[in-house]
A and B are shown apart, each in its own frame.
Chain A
């Protein structure tokens, strides 16, 4: 078979290709300002998983934004750490180590967290108490042992808990703002900011990011979620609320949509727990009983401040449902969802209407 003179056909083929290439080139120029969605995940701050969702013209620009947030998180992580020392940094562990010995000069951001936490203590009627360190550390030790070796899992000694509870008076935290020092007057007392530190840090970091001009950003620090603006297309950020039944096929028990400044936190018995004789003991300790709360599988809070969201979710987890409902009702812009052990979801008045789309 001989095919002669294919030039006209080739000419048309080339014309088509040139047309396509022209459109692609035009598009790529027109697209220059378009922002792409990126995510960054890291595991080296606050001992948990951090996720940043943002929109930028390219990877490098997003990495800059993410680094700005990450650097700030590292800063707060060092200040609010109760387990580790950092060279040249006086942190909460330093305060604990010097309990009954001497006031410790600290960064104003530590004093800000402590003052916020003390306000929260009174606001929640003692349900959130950062001076509960002595009690929490007993539970922490047994939980670590129990998780590492379930055979050796046991409850903390009841008398020891009782004794520790005598050293949880929040008025023992002596703050001198002028000198920027903190002193624990009771040598047996220690601070544990597990119920406020991460949330407060997220709030401060996002305020900083906002000042630096970041927009359309979502930050999740171990489930403490906050955002600036919306997605780049103007739609709300969508979040999954972890199903407390972690073995369920449904990973999320609810979807919520949030935007600018709204914060979400969940507290639940599925997060950190150990089992003794088949009974689950979670990490949220009721200051009244000194034992883990077990009324709910999880409580999620949405409000306009991440520090509040964090501490309220802990507080609601230890309150009864009626108390919790009343607590939410008394406050503007606070909504909550309780998940019962059978999976039933109970919403505060406006939760569904405002956040479940």
Chain B
């Protein structure tokens, strides 16, 4: 290893650390009590569920594969899936805005979306 290699590695680690820290601060500041869990399959919205409500949802795909989403105590987690790699199952539970659990084989993405304020379609006067 040369000196340049060490500089490169250090630089990469610092950049990673800073972006991770910045993102986490942003996430914490942009997660409201009213956050939702949004499930998409291949980019299409499959369902939207409040993060504050405990529930278990079986995400069914047309080809018979599935992911099981559990929302409890303000966390969303994928606890079971039919995919071969099981990365989504192994993934830590999520709770902050824009955190996501991805199942590449099933093309399923579970994302926490900040709050509902901007989701209103209308209001009474």
Hey, which bits of chain A sit against chain B, CB under 8 A? Answer: 48-49, 51, 53, 218, 220, 222-223, 225, 231, 233, 235, 237-242, 251-252, 255, 264-266, 271, 300, 357
Contact = CB atoms under 8 A, between A and B. Distances in A.
Contacts of B123: 220, 223, 239-242, 251-252
Contact of B125 (A218, A271, A357): A271
Interface stretch (B14-22, B104-112, B114-122): B114-122
A238 B120 CA distance: 5
A235 B121 contact: no
A53 B125 contact: no
B124 A53 contact: no
Contacts of B124: 223, 225, 239-242, 264-266, 300
Interface of B: 45, 47-48, 50, 116, 119-125
A239 B45 contact: no
Contacts of B45: 233
A236 B116 CA distance: 13
B54 to A, nearest CB: 14
18 contacts: A48-B125, A53-B122, A222-B125, A225-B122, A231-B121, A235-B48, A238-B120, A239-B124, A241-B123, A241-B124, A242-B123, A242-B125, A252-B123, A255-B120, A266-B124, A271-B125, A300-B124, A357-B50
Contacts of A237: 121-122
A357 B120 CA distance: 13
B50 A218 contact: no
Nearest to B122: A220
Contacts of B116: 238, 255
Given A233-B45, A235-B48, A357-B50, A218 B120 contact: no
A238 B122 CA distance: 7
Q: Is the interface of A mostly helix, strand, loop or mixed?
A: strand
A53 B116 CA distance: 17
A53 B41 CA distance: 25
B63 to A, nearest CB: 18
A239 B120 contact: yes
B48 A233 contact: yes
B109 to A, nearest CB: 14
A223 B125 contact: yes
Contacts of B48: 233, 235
Nearest to A298: B124
Contacts of A266: 124-125
A187 to B, nearest CB: 35
B42 to A, nearest CB: 9
Contacts of B119: 238
Contacts of B121: 53, 218, 231, 237-239
Nearest to A357: B50
A53 B121 CA distance: 7
A-B interface, 3 closest residue pairs, ranked by CB to CB distance from nearest? A223-B125, A266-B124, A240-B123
Nearest to B125: A223
Given A51-B122, A255-B116, 20 more contacts: A48-B125, A49-B125, A218-B122, A222-B125, A225-B122, A225-B124, A233-B45, A235-B47, A237-B122, A239-B120, A239-B122, A241-B124, A242-B123, A242-B124, A251-B123, A252-B120, A252-B123, A264-B124, A265-B124, A266-B125
